[in-house]
């Protein structure tokens, strides 16, 4: 319940009173306000590359989570906030569930399952065009241990013949008691409005945790680092995408002589090997320069301001297998 508690602590409160060392928040929320509004947490889980991040972006109507054709793109919980006149939903996109091979993957799996503890509703996303029975069975076993309302979300239905869908739905209905089965195409947003309608039905009465124009509770630095990492994943192959991490070291407004104020960002790209570093830099620095150009375009769009992005590449050996190094590189745990 950590995220719900943190969110509550940002709500409207009138004063603090301290008694015997215990700080009590005095909230100015009335029961009538809560009863006329719904809010809750919705966790999105599934195997790698089933379209969870694409679904989150489709729900929010803009790009928040990075998306690539490669599995294991998402490493952390990505929390996106959708607010209407009648409800506020905090969606939690999670890393794809897998059989972990090293420490980073173990933490990714732990992070994904950790999102279930806070959930009022769970969206179990599957790829109907490419099933992963072993991982799906593992997820179903974990879902049987929680009490949250669970909706099966078969994704990518636009890629298969309609007649193949009914046997899939029947198979899952026999394995687990889902509240609903809502087929969608996250890429085209087909079925997403229906999914949102069903989610709203299961939201409890509650307060508006965040301002209506807030898209996420994560810092801008996080999304900047993710944007750079997305470009690396798109432009490199084999181990490079998975052995790369990005940390924003500087983030400040600066004055320029010609064009006024600009946002200066300096980010460090970490690789595990010297050979990986050389590949990311590219011949004559061409690859890292292109990564920076593409990332800057997206960052400027996301922040809605001019950006000067400076990238450096260095080596931190075997960071994926070392808990201390994982924390040093942006805290993959406990974000």
- Tell me what pLDDT residue 19 has: 37
Average pLDDT over the chain, rounded to whole? 88
- Tell me what pLDDT residue 25 has: 40
- Tell me what pLDDT residue 35 has: 64
Sorting pLDDT into bands at 50, 70 and 90, what band is 36?
Answer: confident
At 256 the three-state DSSP class reads strand
Domains and CATH numbers, the chain: 32-201 (3.40.50.300), 220-328 (3.30.300.20)
pTM as predicted:
0.87
Q: What is the mean pLDDT of residues 220-234?
A: 96
Residue 95 has what DSSP assignment? P
Assess whether pLDDT exceeds 60 at residue 9.
Answer: no
Q: Give CA separation, 121 vs 69, 92, 274, in Å.
A: 27, 10, 44
Alpha helices, H only, 127-260: 133-143, 165-175, 192-201, 220-235
- Tell me what pLDDT residue 136 has: 93
8 Å CB contact between 232 and 291: yes
- Tell me what pLDDT residue 50 has: 96
Q: What are phi and psi of 96, to 5 degrees?
A: -65, 135
Residues 93-135 have pLDDT tens digits of: 999 999 899 899 999 999 999 999 889 999 999 999 998 899 9
Q: What angle do CA 6, 152, 175 make, to 5 degrees?
A: 115
Which residue from 9, 13, 4, 31 is spatially nearest to 90, judged by alpha carbons? 4
Q: What is the mean pLDDT of residues 299-306?
A: 95
């Amino acid at each position: 319940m950590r995220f719900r508690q943190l969110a509550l602590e940002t709500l409207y409160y009138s004063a603090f009173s301290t008694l015997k060392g215990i700080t009590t928040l005095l909230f100015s929320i009335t029961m009538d306000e809560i009863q006329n509004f719904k809010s809750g947490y919705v966790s999105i889980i599934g195997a790698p590359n089933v379209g969870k991040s694409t679904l989150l972006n489709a729900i929010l109507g803009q790009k928040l989570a990075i998306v690539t054709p490669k599995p294991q793109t998402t490493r952390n919980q990505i929390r996106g906030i959708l607010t209407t006149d009648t409800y506020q939903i905090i969606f939690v996109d999670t890393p794809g569930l897998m059989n972990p091979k090293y420490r980073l993957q173990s933490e990714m799996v732990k992070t994904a399952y950790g999102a279930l503890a806070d959930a009022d509703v769970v969206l179990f996303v599957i790829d109907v065009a490419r099933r992963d029975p072993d991982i799906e069975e593992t997820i179903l076993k974990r879902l049987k241990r929680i009490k949250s309302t669970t909706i099966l979300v078969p994704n990518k239905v636009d890629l298969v013949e309609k007649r193949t869908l009914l046997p899939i739905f029947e198979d899952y209905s026999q394995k687990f008691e889902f509240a609903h089965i809502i087929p969608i195409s996250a890429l085209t947003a087909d079925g997403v409005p229906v999914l949102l309608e069903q989610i709203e039905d299961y939201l409890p009465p509650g307060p508006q945790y965040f301002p209506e124009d807030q898209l996420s509770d994560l810092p801008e630095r996080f999304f900047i680092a993710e944007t750079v990492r997305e470009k690396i994943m798109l432009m490199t192959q084999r181990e490079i995408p998975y052995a790369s991490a990005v940390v924003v070291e500087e983030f400040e407004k600066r004055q320029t002589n010609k064009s006024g104020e600009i946002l200066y960002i300096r980010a460090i790209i970490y690789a595990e090997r010297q050979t990986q570093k050389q590949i990311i830099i590219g011949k004559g620095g061409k690859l890292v320069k292109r990564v920076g150009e593409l990332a800057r375009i997206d960052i400027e769009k996301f922040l809605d301001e001019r950006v000067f992005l400076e990238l450096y590449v260095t080596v931190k050996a075997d960071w994926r297998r070392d808990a201390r190094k994982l924390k040093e590189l942006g805290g993959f745990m406990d974000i």
